[in-house]
């Protein structure tokens, strides 16, 4: 792999790490978002209320001042005009009214002696015209009201806010009480609008600053809260990795401190419990090992005697009383069984203690299987389907133990003939196969080829299939358990119940595995998978069987 590819992969990993820290499932991000939403909601609400209150206050104050000034000008100046004013008089009065402190445009509408409408505005030809006054306002101004106890004047002042070319205006109108011209006023509210826009921008900036401040506070709060949580997560991972002496530093009296104390007490109890269990397990292994070694000496003498007795029985010299011959044969078989049990217990003890080692050699698999079958006189009951020339670097003795247990188990509990087929998968994923699918044991769970991948030199697959009734589904998960016997569905076994367990341990020690399944054509199928290249013997891994193991015997 080139440096550029390594750099690209590192950059991708860094981006993924950054994204994982920012994903919405992150508690830190959620805290920041929640704080931000709360701050945003509060700031927007406060800014909106403040803007609305200030807007109403500014507009109302300006509007009241303008209307009050306009009404006063109408009473003082327009009210002093004659009943039938001329255009010049209206023009002059309108200009005087417009020069008031509020500076608005004025339009006066009167009638001459002939009943013709006369107009005068403060701006000459470019001033306020009657077309710029909304019709609804003109109608309301000229409508005469009924006089009542609550209404002492037939005409009133009316106003309205309009927008022209984006500029807000205040337009108002009224008639002179007691007779006289009608006056209209137009006041630009642009200065007030600019002030309100400035206020809106100020409130927006304040909202943004509040949001940023809330995010910073949320970050600080999240750091304060999440730092102990992060330390707790790290400690939990260390505890899960087997470092039972992991403890947390406790400070404070809050809930997180209580959680840390609980973690420490739990870790302490777990460490004590594991230490006790390890001590008991070590004592148990030591007891089994010592017992096995102590049994070997008397068993050697007993085995020698039973061999002599067996030879006498086979010689048929008559030296053995026919009445005790069945007992002698029972002693011979049980002694042999006891000897096998002791050997199996010693083998299991080596696996549990982690002292097993591999003695590797280059082996022709077909020759190895043939030797195993021939040594146990199984040639007539076993069919071998294996090509010559398939080699693997394995421990021959341990492969012989695996094959003897698998084939022997098939002969005892299955039906003849037992078929053993061999195939090898290449390191690049290609396969060289022999036998049909049923013989390869590809029908059951965990028996398909190619899963988990092969080692550099490929994978060796050996399947052992019998023609018996198969394995019940409730028994399948337990066939490799120690001392497990499916007595309810199979005949009584004379074995120790350790054979398949030892076979599985020997497969694990090579970095391989064994799976059990039922063939769709009938019978049970045990499939052994081993790497074809096992290089350096390594110390036995933990009991999960994940790594290569070895044997000292």
What was the pLDDT predicted at 436? 40
CA angle, corner 239, sides to 237 and 241, nearest 5? 70
Contact at 8 Å (CB) between 398 and 358?
Answer: yes
Q: Which two tokens stand for residue 207?
A: 């909202």
Contact at 8 Å (CB) between 69 and 187?
Answer: no
* Pairwise CA distance, residues 42 & 206, whole Å: 12
What was the pLDDT predicted at 485? 66
Q: Give percent of the chain above pLDDT 90.
A: 4
What was the pLDDT predicted at 4? 59
Q: Which two tokens stand for residue 309?
A: 């007795």
* Pairwise CA distance, residues 502 & 348, whole Å: 7
Residues with Cβ within 8 Å of 63's Cβ and at least 6 positions away in sequence, in order, are: 159, 170
Q: How many CB atoms lie within 10 A of CB 166?
A: 7
Position with higher pLDDT, 426 vs 268: 268
DSSP state of 8: H
Judge whether residue 527 has pLDDT over 90: yes
Residues of the chain with CATH 3.30.450.20: 23-145+153-201
Mean of pLDDT values over 247-252: 82
Position with higher pLDDT, 18 vs 36: 36
Strands 431-432 and 418-425: antiparallel
Contact at 8 Å (CB) between 211 and 36?
Answer: yes
Q: Give percent of the chain above pLDDT 70.
A: 81
Q: Which residues of 375-397 are buried (b: 16+ CB within 10 A; e: fewer)?
A: ebebeeebeebbeeebbbbbbbe
* Pairwise CA distance, residues 217 & 518, whole Å: 63
Mean of pLDDT values over 178-187: 84
Residues of the chain with CATH 3.30.565.10: 358-427+456-537
What was the pLDDT predicted at 496? 64
Strand partners, 525: 465, 517
Instruction: Compute the Cα dihedral for 198, 201, 205, 206 and give only its sign.
Output: positive
Contact at 8 Å (CB) between 328 and 309?
Answer: yes
Judge whether residue 456 has pLDDT over 50: no
**Hey, is 194 helix, strand or coil?**
helix
What was the pLDDT predicted at 544? 41
**Hey, is 105 helix, strand or coil?**
strand
* Pairwise CA distance, residues 426 & 473, whole Å: 33
Judge whether residue 528 has pLDDT over 90: yes
What was the pLDDT predicted at 104? 86
Shortest CA distance to 466 belongs to which of 506, 426, 526?
526
Judge whether residue 313 has pLDDT over 50: yes
Q: Which two tokens stand for residue 548?
A: 């290569």
Strand partners, 144: none
534: confidence class by pLDDT, cuts 50, 70, 90? low
> Per-residue pLDDT tens for 256-301?
788 888 888 988 898 888 888 888 877 777 777 777 777 777 777 7
Least confident of 20-24, 216-220, 237-241: 20-24
Shortest CA distance to 77 belongs to which of 155, 152, 181?
181
> Per-residue pLDDT tens for 341-400?
777 777 777 777 777 788 888 889 999 999 989 888 888 888 888 888 888 888 888 889
CATH of domain 358-427+456-537: 3.30.565.10
Shortest CA distance to 504 belongs to which of 479, 487, 523?
479
Count of residues for the chain? 553
463: confidence class by pLDDT, cuts 50, 70, 90? very high
Position with higher pLDDT, 402 vs 14: 402
* Pairwise CA distance, residues 186 & 422, whole Å: 105
Q: Which two tokens stand for residue 319?
A: 């030296």
420: confidence class by pLDDT, cuts 50, 70, 90? very high
Predicted TM-score of the model (pTM): 0.46
Judge whether residue 162 has pLDDT over 90: no
Average model confidence (pLDDT) across the chain: 77
Position with higher pLDDT, 283 vs 474: 474
Strand partners, 121: 107
Judge whether residue 127 has pLDDT over 80: no
What was the pLDDT predicted at 379? 85
Q: Which fold has domain 23-145+153-201?
A: Beta-Lactamase (3.30.450)
Contact at 8 Å (CB) between 527 and 463?
Answer: yes
């Amino acid at each position: 792999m080139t440096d550029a590819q390594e750099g690209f992969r590192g950059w991708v990993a860094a981006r993924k790490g950054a994204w994982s820290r920012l994903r919405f499932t992150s508690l830190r991000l959620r805290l920041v978002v929640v704080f931000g939403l709360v701050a945003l909601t509060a700031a927007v609400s406060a800014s909106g209320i403040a803007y609305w209150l200030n807007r109403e206050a500014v507009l109302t104050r300006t509007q009241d001042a303008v209307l009050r000034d306009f009404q006063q000008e109408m009473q003082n100046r327009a009210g002093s005009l004659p009943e039938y004013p001329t255009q010049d008089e209206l023009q002059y009065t309108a200009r005087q009214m417009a020069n008031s402190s509020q500076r608005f445009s004025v339009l006066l509408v009167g009638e001459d002696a002939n009943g013709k409408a006369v107009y005068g505005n403060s701006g000459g030809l470019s001033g306020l015209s009657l077309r710029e006054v909304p019709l609804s306002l003109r109608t309301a101004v000229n409508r005469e009201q009924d006089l009542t106890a609550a209404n002492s004047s037939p005409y009133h002042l009316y106003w309205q806010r309009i927008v022209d070319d984006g500029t807000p205006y205040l337009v108002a109108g009224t008639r002179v009480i007691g007779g006289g011209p009608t006056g209209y006023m137009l006041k630009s509210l642009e200065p007030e609008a600019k002030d309100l826009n400035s206020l809106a921008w100020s409130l927006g900036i304040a909202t943004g600053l509040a949001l940023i401040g809330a995010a910073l506070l949320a970050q600080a709060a999240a750091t304060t809260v999440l730092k102990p949580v992060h330390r707790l997560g790290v400690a939990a991972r260390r505890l899960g990795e087997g470092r039972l002496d992991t403890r947390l530093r406790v400070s404070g009296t809050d809930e997180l401190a209580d959680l840390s104390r609980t973690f420490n007490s739990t870790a302490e109890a777990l460490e004590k419990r594991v230490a006790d269990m390890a001590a008991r397990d070590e004592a148990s292994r030591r007891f089994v090992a010592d017992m096995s070694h102590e049994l070997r000496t008397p068993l050697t003498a007993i085995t020698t005697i039973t061999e002599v007795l067996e030879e006498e029985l086979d010689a048929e010299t008559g030296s053995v009383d026919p009445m005790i011959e069945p007992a002698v044969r029972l002693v011979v078989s049980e002694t042999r069984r006891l000897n096998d049990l002791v050997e199996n217990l010693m083998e299991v003890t080596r696996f549990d203690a982690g002292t097993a080692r591999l003695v590797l050699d280059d082996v022709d698999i077909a020759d190895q299987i043939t030797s195993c079958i021939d040594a146990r006189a199984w040639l007539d009951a076993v069919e071998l389907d294996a090509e010559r020339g398939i080699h693997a670097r394995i421990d021959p003795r341990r492969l012989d133990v695996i094959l003897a247990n698998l084939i022997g188990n098939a002969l005892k509990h299955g039906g003849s003939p037992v078929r053993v087929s061999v195939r090898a998968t290449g390191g690049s994923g290609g396969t060289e196969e022999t036998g049909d699918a049923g013989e390869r044991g590809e029908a059951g769970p965990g028996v398909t080829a190619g899963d988990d991948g092969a080692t550099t030199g490929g994978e060796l697959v050996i399947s052992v299939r019998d023609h018996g009734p198969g394995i019940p589904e409730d028994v399948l998960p337990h066939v490799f358990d120690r001392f497990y016997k499916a007595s309810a569905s199979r005949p009584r076994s004379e074995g120790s119940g350790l054979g398949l367990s030892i076979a599985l341990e020997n497969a694990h020690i090579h970095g391989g595995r064994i799976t059990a399944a039922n063939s769709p054509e009938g019978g049970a199928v045990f499939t052994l998978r081993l790497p074809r290249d096992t290089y350096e013997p390594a110390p036995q891994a933990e009991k999960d069987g994940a790594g290569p193991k070895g044997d000292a015997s």
